[in-house]
């Protein structure tokens, strides 16, 4: 792997940022996670567009032109010498004496590129996951990919401690998304997923999956569903950059299709089509 600390490329263990970086003290920054398959970025432009949107939403000026950022990203990928990898890019509002108003400091862009271990995600994609529903206690600007992930981290751990693989957020009785994924259900060959509004992150994977679904003749309805509808779905799955499309076998105490993810025909078809996008 390799890191970029805002000035130079160096081994990840050696990379440091100042104590008073605002990402550190306020979570004042944004990020993206981008998958590299066989040495090639997947949907790099979509991720960078979202980074720009997140930056704009929090009034953060990126420290370089996008063309320069793209060059740095390409340099990082090459220097990492990784084939199956993930690039993590973060932009913080810079370092300054701790004080709430925006500092008079340049934003700091940092990156890591490190290998992804595909064994675990491959197994999950085959076996499916068990999820626990939990109240969506996050703020109301979830479309911003902000560094403030405390609710996500807390609920993920709560789910793990309770013997589940992940938590699914529920706001006002409606399912929003997972702690680091979007979620969809299938019912009578129709796919339902929360609309891309302020309540969810507008996932790049979600966008790809919706396109693939339409291509194979699945109707797509961007409408939120209830926990009951999730539990009674024909099929359900989460979508994200690292885990990709992961079937949901169980929601709280309820099994979907008796827990037989092997019978999730449309989910499997989408998984196949998705794999074909990057191979
Ligand atoms: N998570 N929703 C949330 C809350 C997320 O954190 C993510 C991604 C997604 C899926 O977005 P995409 O398909 O663009 O990866 C949805 C990243 C991978 C993370 O925090 O590690």
Reported as a single tens digit per residue, the pLDDT across 255-274 is: 999 999 999 999 999 999 99
Q: Which of 43, 145, 156, 231 is catalytic?
A: 145
Q: For 60-73, what is each residue's pLDDT tens digit? A: 999 999 999 999 99
pLDDT for 4: 98
Residue nearest to atom 17 of ligand 1 (CA): 180
Q: What average pLDDT does range 166-184 have in this prediction?
A: 98
**Distance from the alpha carbon of residue 145 to the mean position of ligand 1, in angstroms:** 8
Residues, the chain: 279
Candidates 240, 242, 274, 277: which one to mutate for ligand 1, based on the most atoms within 8 Å of Cβ? 240
CA 3 to each of CA 72, 112, 130, 140, 264: distance values in angstroms, whole numbers, following the listed order: 11, 4, 34, 32, 40
Cross-strand pairs, 175: 170
Residue nearest to atom 12 of ligand 1 (CA): 203
Distance in angstroms (rounded) separating the CA atoms of residues 212 and 184: 13
**Distance from the alpha carbon of residue 126 to the mean position of ligand 1, in angstroms:** 20
Candidates 33, 200, 206, 239: which one to mutate for ligand 1, based on the most atoms within 8 Å of Cβ? 33
Q: For 133-158, what is each residue's pLDDT tens digit? A: 999 999 999 999 999 999 999 999 99
pLDDT for 242: 97
pLDDT for 13: 97
Please, what are the domains in the chain? 2-116 (3.30.470.10), 121-277 (3.20.10.10)
pTM value surpassing 0.95: yes
Residue nearest to atom 20 of ligand 1 (CA): 180
Question: Active-site residue 145, yes or no?
Answer: yes
Mean pLDDT, the chain, whole residue set:
97
Question: Is the pLDDT confidence value at 224 over 90?
Answer: yes
pLDDT for 197: 98
Q: For 74-103, what is each residue's pLDDT tens digit? A: 999 999 999 999 999 999 999 999 999 999
Tokens 């720009």 locate to 52
| ipTM attached to this prediction | 0.98
pLDDT for 279: 84
């Amino acid at each position: 792997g390799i890191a970029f600390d805002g000035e130079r490329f160096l081994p990840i263990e050696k990379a440091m940022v100042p104590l008073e970086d605002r990402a550190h003290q306020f979570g004042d920054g944004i990020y993206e996670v981008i998958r590299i398959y066989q040495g090639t970025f997947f949907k790099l432009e979509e991720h960078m567009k979202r980074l720009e949107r997140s930056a704009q939403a929090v009034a953060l000026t990126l420290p370089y032109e996008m063309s320069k950022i793209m060059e740095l990203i390409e340099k990082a990928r090459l220097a990492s010498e990784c084939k199956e990898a993930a690039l993590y890019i973060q932009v913080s509002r810079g370092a300054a004496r701790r004080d709430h108003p925006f500092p008079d400091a340049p934003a700091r862009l940092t990156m890591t590129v490190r290998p992804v271990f595909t064994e675990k995600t491959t197994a999950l994609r085959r076996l499916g996951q068990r999820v626990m529903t939990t109240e969506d206690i996050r703020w109301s600007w979830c479309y911003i990919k902000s560094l403030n992930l405390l609710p996500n981290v807390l609920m993920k751990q709560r789910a793990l401690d309770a013997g589940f693989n992940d938590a699914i957020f529920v706001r006002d009785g409606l399912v929003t998304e997972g702690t680091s994924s979007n979620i969809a259900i299938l019912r009578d060959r129709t796919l339902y997923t929360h609309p891309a509004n302020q309540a969810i992150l507008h996932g790049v994977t979600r966008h790809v999956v919706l396109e693939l679904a339409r291509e194979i003749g699945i109707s797509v309805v961007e409408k939120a569903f209830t926990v009951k509808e999730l539990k009674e779905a024909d099929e359900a799955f989460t979508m994200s950059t690292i885990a990709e499309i992961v079937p949901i076998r169980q929601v709280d105490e309820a099994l979907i299709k008796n827990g037989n993810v092997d019978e999730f025909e449309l989910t499997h078809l989408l998984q196949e089509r998705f794999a074909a996008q990057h191979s």
